[in-house]
Structure 1
Amino acid sequence: MPGTSGNGAVTRSTLRQQIADALRDEVLAGRLQPGQEFTVKEIADQYGVSATPVREALVDLSAQGLLEALQHRGFRVREYSFADFRGLVEARSLVIDGMFHALDRGRGGPPHVQDPDDPYTAAALAGVRRRGEEAQRAACAGDLTVLIGYDLRFWRELSSLFGNPYLVDFLHRLRVQSWVCAVQHLRRVTDLRGLLWAGHTELIDALSRRDTDAARCIIAGHNTHALALIERLATG
């Protein structure tokens, strides 16, 4: 029956996304190491599901750059070099700078983004700031897992204010890839307190004032810090 078929498709699609999210979290947590190989059957057995949604989830993660498909052998967690990380930082910076240019031109997406005093904008920025506060606390505490979660939510919610879903998805993908590259080095550090960037609230305060010059300086400092830290860990 059509209704049954539709429900089945929705269920499979939801399961596919759940598996993709779970595997992405495994990579970000360092439980799936760069270069580690596995098959569709191994993942299906691990989660107790059929092979089809697992295969679809792994293909999705391959398209996002987190995995590599191995012909007739399954999949492998992608290994990123420092050059890859530098390229990802540059790419995400260009996207973020485009967001700031939109603010400079006074057309940052939906009308409410143009007026920081608008109640909707104020409420949305307050929500993003709360994510930033949590990310900042996690960074200061050296809690990498919590930091990654809140950092990704922070940037997704901030970019969504510009009303362009393609921008939101692209920036999110770049930031996930950046974290995948960084965690292979950061997870080896015993104590990360004082080493992780914690400028989320400072950035939101600058954007709330529509001070894009200050925001650009904050992002430049963020990039310089990240590149120096990962280069030091990668070569050390």
Structure 2
Amino acid sequence: MPGTGGTGAVTRSTLRQQIADALRDEVLAGRLQPGQEFTVKEIAEQYGVSATPVREALVDLSAQGLLDADQHRGFRVHEYSPADFRGMIEARSLVTDGMFHNLIEGDGMKRADDPRVLAALAGVRRRGEEAQRAAVAGDLNILIGYDLRFWRELSALFGNAYLADFLHRLRVQSWVCTVQHLRRVDDLRGYLWSGHTELVDALARRDPRAAHAIVTEYNAHSLALIERLAAE
């Protein structure tokens, strides 16, 4: 994050978000390991910025469940268990089932047969194609980026910004949990879910049963994989 220290052109709130995004990416990339501890001072020195926006960014990430705060020792990367992951999947399912129902059975801009929604779904599908290519290739870093963007854009069609934000946070937490295990696998080809375009196609043809089945299969696959890797 070059040029963030003392430029005056970057507001504190912008800097706070940049630091939070950078640290989140460090966790997702596995460069910050589960249980790893660090202080505000260490992060401030690493990025060449003052302590205040760093502290605010770390508090934000703690509120999102990615970090644990210790009043005397600083912060550490949260360690998720398979039980945590199961809870995330259950919460995600509640949101996506409602979202798909409204896209298919709702009215106005929420309906999947609205031309504007169909056009937006085409854009989401392109993101899904990139995610699928990364999944098939076993490229976890590329997959995470496109997968998060895919679900963010898909959930935006639902029209409820609060639920879209909640789902995004759940998916970030899910990825933080899964990368703790997936980073131990040398070759991820064949491990990663790649049903993104199938899901969009089911929504575009207004088939809620197919959409539900695709996501259910995805969740079962992910949970079984994490539980197996955790057991190993």
> Do the structures match in fold with TM over 0.5?
yes
Partner of 1:167: 163
**C-alpha separation in 2, matches of 1:176 and 1:76:** 17
> C-alpha distance in 2, partners of 1:50/1:76?
20
Matched AA of 1:86: R
1:137-156 equivalence runs, <5 A: 137-156=133-152
Distance, in Å, in 2 between the alignment partners of 1:234 and 1:191 is: 17
Find 2:176's aligned residue among 176, 180, 204: 180
State which of 116, 134, 138 in structure 1 corresponds to 2:113: 116
Aligned counterparts, 1:1-236, within 5 A: 11-107=11-107, 111-114=108-111, 116-118=113-115, 120-236=116-232
Gaps in structure 2 of 5+ consecutive residues: 1-7
Give CA deviations for 1:115-168 in whole Å, capped at 9, x if unaligned: 5251x2222111100110000000000000000000000000000011111011
Q: 1:34-72 CA deviation, whole Å, 9 max, x = no partner?
A: 000000000000000000000000000000000000012
Q: What's 2:5 paired with?
A: none
Which aligned segments of 4 or more residues in structure 1 are displaced greater than 6 angstroms? Answer: none
In 1, the alpha carbon distance for the partners of 2:92 and 2:10 equals 32
Q: 1:104 to 1:112 in 2, by over 3 A?
A: closer
Judge conservation of contact 2:39–2:75 (CA < 8 Å) in 1. yes
RMSD of equivalent CA atoms? 1.3
Structure 1 gaps of 5+ residues are 1-7
TM-score by length of 1: 0.92
Once residues 97 and 225 of structure 2 are traced to their aligned partners in structure 1, the CA distance between those partners, rounded to angstroms, is 22
